Amino acid sequence: MSTTTSSAAAPAARDAGTLVWDLPTRLFHWSLAICFAGAWLTSDSERQHLLHLLFGYSLFGLIAFRVVWGFVGSRHARFASFAHGPVTTWRYLAGMLRGRPAHHVGHNPAGAVAIWLLLGLGLATAGVGIAMMSGAGEALEEVHEILATAMLVVVGLHLLGVIVGSVLHRENLPKAMITGRKRGLRAEDGIRKRSFVVGLALLAALAAFWTAGLMLKRPPLGLPGGDASAEGEHRDGERAAGAESEGREDRDEDGDDD
């Protein structure tokens, strides 16, 4: 009787999968995606300038957290676990082209390249944005846009790689980054701790930052940006007034021609 029970429980345990990604890593991943998408979508709207700043500062803070977590986090979250060299990366990409890439428990070499690029570009983009708010102004605007566009390209390539990797490895990579679990692994390949407290602290910090920013109508903690909401409305007003003035001048010129 006990043999039957244990044999029935074994498939259920396998179906549950092995815990690979801790909670802070998963929260970072999806929060970074939301912040980048939000910053991109609000970049051209002066009325949403405050939201753009809050998304940008949140992105910067998330990457700063990830850098620390890359040294003190769980096994597969640490940078050492996916510091693949160029030879390993090339072999993995060649395997993908042949339809038989090597399987990795944590980040595969292609995903690792995307992570390094996203972390670097994210820091650079946010850093230039902060410099603009600190007084550099329009001098760095083009650099800011180029970096953001480069990051968008990397995001697109990363999404393509996730789709291809999911098909070739026959595993749902996006779902694994939600649940933290992957199937078909040995128990010793996984991690023991979810780091639940650290994950909650990260969420609480983001929530507090956004609550303060929306209530104050400016970036909190004395961050550059001033009264971003009023500034955006003022710029929109100036643009509208300028457009109206140009339209009036055009009508006057047409009247003079008549």
This prediction has a pTM of: 0.82
- Residue 252 — very low, low, confident or very high, per pLDDT cuts 50/70/90? low
pLDDT, tens digit, 9 for 90 and up, residues 161-189: 999 999 999 999 999 999 999 998 999 99
Predicted pLDDT at 5: 40
The string of pLDDT tens digits covering residues 12-23 is: 444 578 999 999
pLDDT at 216: 95
pLDDT tens for each residue of 98-148: 999 999 999 999 999 999 999 999 999 999 999 999 887 778 999 999 999
pLDDT at 139: 80
Q: Determine the Cα–Cα distance for residues 142 and 147; give it in Å rounded to an integer.
A: 9
Where are the chain's structural domains? Answer: 10-226
User: Which residue's entry shows tokens 């890359």?
Assistant: 70
For the segment 38-48, the average pLDDT, to the nearest whole number, is 94
Say which CATH class 10-226 falls into: mainly alpha
Pairwise CA distance, residues 120 & 112, whole Å: 12
pLDDT score for 11: 47
Residue 244 has pLDDT above 60, yes or no: no
pLDDT, residue 70, reads: 97
pLDDT at 134: 86
Residues 6+ apart with CB under 8 A from 181: 16, 17, 18, 19, 20, 21
Q: Which of 229, 205, 234 is nearest to 219 (CA)?
A: 229
Closest residue by Cα to residue 123 from 79, 64, 54: 64
Predicted pLDDT of residue 246: 56
